[in-house]
Amino acid sequence: MSTDHTGGYPPQEPPAQMPYPPSPPSPVDQERPASYPSPTYSSPPPGPLPPPLSPNGNGTTPTIPPQSVGGAEPMSAIPYAVAQPQFPVNEPEPTPIPTPGVLSATQLPSVRIGLWGSSRAGKSTYLASLPIAGMQTTDPNGRWIVGGMTPNAVEYLVRGVDRLANHRSFPAIGQINESLTWVFHGPPPTERAGLFRRQPADGVQFALQLQDVPGEFLRTGQLSEDVVEHFANSQGLIYLFDPIGDAEERTRSFDFFFEMLQAVHARVREAGRLVRNRLPHRVAVCVTKFDEPEFFDAAVHAGWVNQQDFGSRLPVVEEKQRAAFFDWVCRGYRGGTATMICDAIQSFFHPTYVRYYATSAIGFRLNSNQVFDYHDYRNTEQVNNVRRIRATPRPLNVLEPLIDLERRISGRKR
């Protein structure tokens, strides 16, 4: 073969012969029996390289002709040993990139709590105030962080806080009818060890699946099977009791309250989960709108309200008096069908499973020294015939019922 190359290409030296290591065994090779012959691969032929290919007259590049070595079969166009093809193997489902601000519900212990109340009990405002309550908590061990675990939950929190804190307005009534999943990060409860108190190394983290059911939806006379199923399978319930409202509203409130109780009790009974013939749920009964002057002044004059002697000197109902306070609200303040709500709670749930709270989603207005002033505590006002919030919301007993429910459900100590 002539070494005189045309087309202006310089002469090329033949490559040095190099050993070609065998390819690693493939899954097929590993499973091949010993008697099965292994494939062999040819090495590049010795001698100089063939001349470069020149374009054909029609502008196309000629194909590579097969070459024979020593009368053998024509070689492949690629004469080097190549690895055997790899077959697909079973892999776990790949993890996607996490969405900012959204956590995985499978990473944390989860509790399931249903939120219950009449159409004007303040459920939407209660939910929107939870992140604010977490940031303002007075827990000596640290603050609580409330975040969304789904895009819808994140949007709900952001929109609600914006309305309360920035626009000083209340969320729309009954704006959601779905299960929200939020995550709560908080300080560890103080535990007693002998004569000393110690702090666990890790804080408290739990996911909360919360069902917000608009009261108008519950008052249609047709209970949603999904909502009944959610309440029946919940571990805890938050019942928001509205102490203000007209007689007609109170009657409707009891009607759907009792109807829902009957449906949940029947579902739990069918599942064989009743505890001594009563519902197994832990319950937090929150008397809402504690800041409303009409209701607050009545509670003060009835002797139910005390005042803290530290910090902002906030009004409180002492824990040991809360059950009796709720009984007074039902029988002494509201009367009528409200007394049957009190009786129904005591009948369907174990008394030791129920705790009571005086709650306000926006709290009381404080003076310039951030101290409660009985002569000017109203935190709402009318602006162009629209009810608005006067000062920065300071939720009262909004986060505490949820934290207490989680601890009672999980068995965690305070």
Domains of the chain in start order, with CATH, are 109-410 (3.40.50.300)
Cα separation, 197 vs 212, whole angstroms? 38
Q: Which candidate, 239, 216, 211, places its Cα nearest to that of 227?
A: 211
What is the token pair recorded at 140?
Answer: 């000596």
Q: Which candidate, 410, 369, 398, places its Cα nearest to that of 144?
A: 398
Query: CB of 134 within 8 A of CB of 127?
Result: no
Query: CB of 239 within 8 A of CB of 117?
Result: yes
Chunked mean pLDDT (size 10), the chain, 414 residues:
51 54 54 52 54 55 50 48 57 60 53 81 88 84 83 88 93 66 78 46 69 55 77 92 75 79 95 95 96 96 96 95 96 90 95 97 95 96 92 94 90 63
Q: Which candidate, 354, 407, 364, places its Cα nearest to that of 389?
A: 364
SS3 call for 296: helix
The pair phi, psi for residue 61, each rounded to 5°, is: -95, 130
Cα separation, 394 vs 138, whole angstroms? 11
What pLDDT was estimated at residue 306?
96
Long-range contacts, 75-79 (Cβ 8 Å, 24+)? 75/42, 75/45, 76/42, 79/42, 79/43, 79/44, 79/45
What pLDDT was estimated at residue 193?
43
HEC letters along 320-332:
HHHHHHHHHHHHH
174 class by beta-carbon count within 10 Å (0-12 exposed, 13-18 middle, 19+ buried): middle
Side-chain half-sphere CA neighbours of 249 within 13 A: 14
What pLDDT was estimated at residue 30?
53
Query: CB of 389 within 8 A of CB of 379?
Result: yes
SS3 call for 372: strand
The bridge status of strand 179-186 relative to strand 191-193 is unpaired
What pLDDT was estimated at residue 150?
83
The pair phi, psi for residue 307, each rounded to 5°, is: -125, 135
Strand partners, 306: 316
Give Cα separations from 122 to 168, 232, 277, 311, 359 (angstroms). 15, 23, 31, 27, 10
